Amino acid sequence: MSDESAPQHRVDRNRPTRLRALADFYPDGILGASREGVVTILNAQGAALLGVDAEDAKALPLSDVLRLLDQDGRTWLDVNRPFDAISITRGVPEQSWLNASGDEVLTTARLVREEPLGRVVGIAVGLRSGRGRARLDRERSDLVATVAHELRSPLTGVKGFVQALLNRWDKLTDDQRKLMLTTVNADADRLARLIAELLDVARIDTDRLQLYPRECSAEVLVARVVDSIEAGTARDITLEVDGALPPLFADPDKFTQVVTNLVENAVRHGQGQVSVQLSASPALTGVRLTVDDEGDGIPVELRKRVFTKFWTTGTSGGTGLGMYIVGGLSRAHGGWVTIDDAPGGGGRVMVDWPSEDQRPE
């Protein structure tokens, strides 16, 4: 057989360079090392987190590159000893470390074996900045602070009035007792409402929202909400129904919650008269609920943020969960929410709600 007919096996001398370039596109840090404890690959993100030069790190001892310490000053290698791991160990779960700059670095590792239960011939370490986790921790802290504040206010009222009733029962008139008990009852309702909102948020976040939809009348449900809220405020609330409307396909309790949140938001954050309108939806077979106020409205650049959790504005208080729940419940039924400017100034919120089962799969 001549040399020309023999199969040609070319060595791709550029493969390590291309592999390194590809690794640099990965959003997290990547570090690889051989059994001998020598660094074989380190991408740009990993080098930045470790405070080294990616090219200089190649072929250096792993202990000189992976210089991460725990709170006790121990190194990653001292704690994990990957090359001495027992045969059934496949990797190292996520751990928190500090780099030379004192920044948190989260690591995971995979042990490379030539065969199952064989000796470790290399390790692959993933590196990620701890800033994302710190942001989540701050968000959790904000959640706890918000919930604690909202719970403490009504609980303080309940505690104060109950203590006054216990200590001064014989000295209080019937009217005074009734006023205190009425206030305690209102604060208890507020607590129950907050707990229900938190549960709804959790169910929306985890797609575990339970709905029991059926055909129902939007006019009847909305009129009940308007009458109830109007009885407890000095603000003028009007309801207008445009002609005969198709029935809603909705869980009546959830639709009532949506209407309640919208009208109460208009009363709390808006000014002047609150106008509620029901009409046939121009966008789907169903009903459009429109709530207008005469306040300052919502700037265009903030309209998407309104539907995030714990978003509040002004000094009117509130948990910041109302509009998040409105958006979540509307989407769960196949509807949607739109924010616009009211014709006479102020804010306008529109909810388009279907008459048929349009729930997402």
Q: Are residues 224 and 259 in the same domain?
A: yes
Residue type, 64: D
Non-local CB neighbours of 112 within 8 Å, separated by 6+ positions: 120, 121, 122, 123, 124
In a shared domain, residues 185 and 233: no
Q: Which amino acid is at 341?
A: D
Regarding whether 151 and 106 lie in a shared domain, the answer is: no
Percent of the chain scored above 70 by pLDDT? 91
What does the alpha-carbon distance between residue 321 and residue 307 come to, in Å, rounded to a whole number? 8
In tens, the pLDDT along 206-234 reads 888 899 999 999 999 999 999 999 988 88
Of 110, 129, 148, which one is at a domain's C-terminal end? 129
CATH of the domain at 190: 1.10.287.130
361 falls within a domain? no
Evaluate whether residue 189 is within a structural domain.
Answer: yes
Statement to judge: residues 17 and 103 lie in one domain: yes
**pLDDT digits 0-9 by tens, 26-78:** 889 999 999 999 999 999 999 999 999 988 998 899 999 999 998 888 999 99
Give buried/exposed letters for 38-60 (b at 16+ CB in 10 A, else e). bbbbbbbbbbebbebebeebeee
So what's the pLDDT on residue 318? 64
Structure tokens at 223: 């009129």
Residue 306 lies in a domain: yes
Q: Is 359 domain-assigned?
A: no
Sequence-separated contacts (24+) of 141-147 with Cβ below 8 Å: 142/310, 143/309, 143/310, 146/310, 146/319, 146/320, 147/194, 147/198
Domain end residue (candidates: 205, 230, 257): 205
When divided into structural domains, the chain yields a total of 3
Full domain range(s) for residue 16: 3-129
**CATH number of the domain to which 121 belongs:** 3.30.450.20
The answer to the question of residue 251 being in a domain is yes
Its pTM stands at 0.62
- Mean predicted confidence (pLDDT) in 242-262: 94
Q: Determine the average pLDDT of the residues in 250-271.
A: 92
Q: Is residue 360 part of a domain?
A: no
The pLDDT score that the predictor gives to residue 2 is 45
Do 146 and 120 lie in one domain? The reply is no
**329 pLDDT band (50/70/90 cuts)?**
very high
Q: Are residues 323 and 220 in the same domain?
A: yes
Same domain, 191 and 219: no
